[in-house]
Amino acid sequence: AVAVPARVVVGDRELERAAGMFRAAGDPGRLRLLAQLLAGEQCVTELVQSVGAGFSTVSQQLRTLRSEGLVSTRREGKHVFYSLADGHVVELIRSVLQHAAEV
């Protein structure tokens, strides 16, 4: 059994933000991008090649993930590199993918 705190107090603002993150990550195409980014930072071109989707589709999906705070960007010349936003996102994506593989 997993130890769970007796009571976690969460406000409406936090619940709405978390729901937005789950909505963004809940699309299979966007989740595939998040899973790819578990390997580390990648540019859009690398992501397009690895997930087998079109450039505009991947760009739109990344925009959604960025707006929900799940990915961050770094620009180097003409290239934009994407990575998972922080350790919380890394653990969330790792955990949900592991859980899905076990069920």
pLDDT in single tens digits along all 103 residues of the chain: 667 667 777 899 999 999 999 999 999 999 999 999 999 999 999 999 999 999 999 999 999 999 999 999 999 999 999 999 999 999 999 999 999 999 7
Q: Please say whether the beta carbons of 68 and 20 come within 8 A.
A: yes
**pTM, to two decimals:** 0.89
pLDDT for residue 39? 96
Q: Return the axis-axis angle of helices 28-37 and 87-102, rounded to nearest 10°.
A: 120
Per-residue HEC secondary structure of 53-101 comes to CCHHHHHHHHHHHHHCCCEEEEEECCEEEEEECCHHHHHHHHHHHHHHH
